[in-house]
Chain A
């Protein structure tokens, strides 16, 4: 299991930095915006419940890009590198690498343009290029307002009901997972069965990405951690896909 799948309960990390800003450097806003635009223009959106006519949007972007892809990139990093890099630094590396891999830009042109900006303060402060088809921005706004719900209308009876005791499976590690490592082999109680069934952006090796129920599970602290590590009266809840659990 990768460290970034298993953060919950990690010890000896010291104090949290209570930085309340969303962005700590102006450049971070730009990479956030680029990522959000990519999600809004992703070629999978014609299958999303809002029924976007994505193939009619006049963008040159024709790739599949979602939170799942961004997360998979971060989960694929060397774990020490994951900690060394700040949140949006990980995004910048993953997203620029994606545009190169997909052939939209070359590494050489990105490096050359970066070097030009670094060498010339005028270029660093110059306005960005203008123009482009406004229909691209219409789609981006439509995505922001209508979203990309993972809920599907397939009729599937949940295997578990409120009050059932369930064990979290210890699945083989995957490129990308929504199963936090600290829950593996732990036993919890079903607290809620969410209405409907939910898919994920794509199929993962550990089984999500097809419609299935999700549950809120309740874990007593002594079912998760050594007694000496416990905070008193602290209950942990986790929302989890059905494929990750079995009857206890």
Chain B
């Protein structure tokens, strides 16, 4: 359940109804020539294999080992994507205008979309449920430090928290700091330490 409010606990029949309705809709759309029998599967496969948080993780790992690349990433995310061996489409749907906010010892960033669920698809994939939860969206605008604590991110009082609310066409995400204990790791090893949450600002990557 995406909301923890008790009044929103669901009757299991509700899921069965929705599943039947969407299947009825998709089958009608295929029969009527609006989409094909492959359209939805192809789209889902695109996000499983081509555009997902595995791309963002590679960008962060490269930025951690290459200071020049890090400068490019924080100044022009789309240009940085072009330097990588990624599939075509990094400036495609929901990635047309991406920006990266860099965490430092003094500044911690978190993204939110208070109006809907804007998200950089090519680098982070599709948004997790908590990001779409109205409770997260409402609270992060005003009490980000408290929200981060609930997510398990304890920040020193000296650290400034910056909230990036994407109401106008830019898609933000977060470059976390390289964790301690990762000296000598390869880019691939570093990339494996990253989660979508770390690149949204609600988790800190840790050396495994």
Interface residues in chain A, defined as those with a beta carbon under 8 Å from any beta carbon in chain B: 5, 7-10, 13-22, 24-27, 29-34, 36-37, 39-41, 58-61, 67, 71, 74, 82-84, 86-87, 89, 92, 95-96, 99, 104-105, 109-110, 113-118, 124, 128-134, 136-137, 140-141, 143-151, 177-180, 182, 194, 198, 214-216, 221, 224-225, 229-241
Contacts and interface: CB of A to CB of B under 8 A. Distances in A.
Contacts of A14: 4-5, 135
Interface string B18-59: 111111111111111111111111111010000100000000
A9 B128 contact: no
The interface centre, meaning the residue of A16, A83, A216 with most chain B CB atoms within 10 A of its CB, is A16
A17 B2 contact: yes
Contacts of B44: 29, 32-33
13 contacts: A14-B4, A16-B151, A17-B4, A20-B197, A34-B22, A104-B29, A124-B19, A130-B30, A145-B89, A151-B169, A198-B169, A224-B142, A225-B142
Centre residue among A37, A67, A241 by max chain B CB count within 10 A:
A37
Given A25-B15, A151-B96, A30 B23 contact: yes
Nearest to B4: A17
Contacts, number: 325
Interface of B: 1-5, 7-8, 10, 15-44, 46, 51, 87-89, 91-97, 114-117, 125-130, 132-139, 141-147, 150-151, 157-170, 196-197
A114 B116 contact: no
Given A14-B5, A20-B130, A136-B36, A7 B138 contact: yes
Q: Is the interface of A mostly helix, strand, loop or mixed?
A: mixed
A22 B127 contact: yes
A141 B23 CA distance: 22
A116 to B, nearest CB: 8
Nearest to B29: A34
Contacts of B159: 233
